[in-house]
Amino acid sequence: MIELADSVCSRLGLHKSHREGKIVPASMDRGDRVRIHLFVPCFVDHFAPGVAWASARILQRLGHEVVVPESQTCCGQAGYNSGFHEESVEVATQWVRSFTQADAVVGSSGSCVAFVRNMYPQLFENTPYAEEARRLSERTWELSSFLVDVLGVDELGARYPVRATFHDGCHGLRQLGLGKQARRLLAKVEGLELVEMGRPDLCCGFGGSFSVKLPELSVSMADAKLEEVLATGAEVVIATEPTCLTQIVGRAHKRGLPLRAMHLAEVLDHTGQEAVR
């Protein structure tokens, strides 16, 4: 991840700091700002705007400029995983068009970012968007990875006294290698006690259209995940995947369990000065 980020950084005009081997934007040394295009997954846009706000504020507090392409709609993954290839290309085209000017794209869903990073190059092969899709796929990061791997930041001054556990979203974990970054960031959150599950990487059972095509199975998987979460005694389950959280906490609330779900960005944004959602 570091190596990949390193090569991208040089193209971005970022450079690796000599001290501690951290990657920091060259522009920051001069007091300039990196212009970040915020990738707002459709679910976040309509159901969890607080996650996007938290992401934007974290990046702004680090001194960067955040812009939001207003023509972005959806990355196209939902249809792709359901077997509707052509429809997905069409929708993904809208994403590429929306981010075409971006040098750095940061999103708050590991799954959506994994789709752009890993699938776009093959999705747009032999189309007029091939070059741009490939370029963008290398410049799109999930928030925790951007903070830790690209910016080399793990201390954000967050304070949140709570007993929490972290759920690894499958696509973020297995397609982007996420998980360690979030844990590093959470370790620096003052007052937060992180209790690991026996199986933090057990799928929550959401799986996009899977959750409504085979709902009983999906819910049964959510129950298995909840067993893991409840065994930690955590009040809050944290993830970098908004839809996993909806699945886990949606099931918990249906069963009358008082569990709360928070996106990593919301936890990191909890500085005591900012009101969160």
Binders of another protein among residues 33 to 52 (CB under 8 A) are 37, 40, 44-49, 52
Q: Which residue carries 């992401």 as its tokens? A: 55
100-139: which residues touch another protein (CB under 8 A)?
100-101, 124-129
Nearer to another protein, 159 or 255 (CB): 255
Figure out which of the listed residues 26, 28, 156, 219 binds another protein, where binding follows CB under 8 A. 219
d(CA 10, CA 263): 30
Residue 78 in the binding site for another protein (CB under 8 A): yes
**Least distance from C-beta 253 to another protein, angstroms?**
4
Reading across the β-sheet that carries 140-142, which strands appear in turn? 35-39, 105-107, 140-142
**Least distance from C-beta 1 to another protein, angstroms?**
17
Residue 273 in the binding site for another protein (CB under 8 A): no
Give the SS3 label for residue 192: strand
Figure out which of the listed residues 7, 11, 21, 90 binds another protein, where binding follows CB under 8 A. 90
Q: Which two tokens stand for residue 117?
A: 């990073």
Max alpha carbon distance in the chain (Å)?
56
Nearer to another protein, 31 or 128 (CB): 128
Residue 143 in the binding site for another protein (CB under 8 A): no
Residue 159 in the binding site for another protein (CB under 8 A): no
Question: What is the size of the binding site for another protein (CB under 8 A)?
Answer: 79
**Least distance from C-beta 64 to another protein, angstroms?**
12
Residue 82 in the binding site for another protein (CB under 8 A): yes
Residue 275 in the binding site for another protein (CB under 8 A): no
Task: Output b/e per residue, 174-203; b: 16+ Cβ within 10 A.
Answer: ebbebbebbbebbeebeebebeebeebebb
164-203: which residues touch another protein (CB under 8 A)?
170-171, 174-175, 201-203
Residue 237 in the binding site for another protein (CB under 8 A): no
Residue 254 in the binding site for another protein (CB under 8 A): yes
Nearer to another protein, 98 or 181 (CB): 98
Beta strands 236-239 and 23-24, pairing class: unpaired
Nearer to another protein, 111 or 144 (CB): 111
Beta strands 23-24 and 105-107, pairing class: unpaired
d(CA 204, CA 90): 29
On the CB side of 185, CA atoms within 13 Å amount to: 30
Q: Which two tokens stand for residue 218?
A: 């999906």
Q: Are 113 and 176 in contact (CB under 8 A)?
A: yes
d(CA 36, CA 250): 32
Nearer to another protein, 88 or 232 (CB): 88
Q: Which residue carries 């459709």 as its tokens? A: 42
Nearer to another protein, 10 or 73 (CB): 73
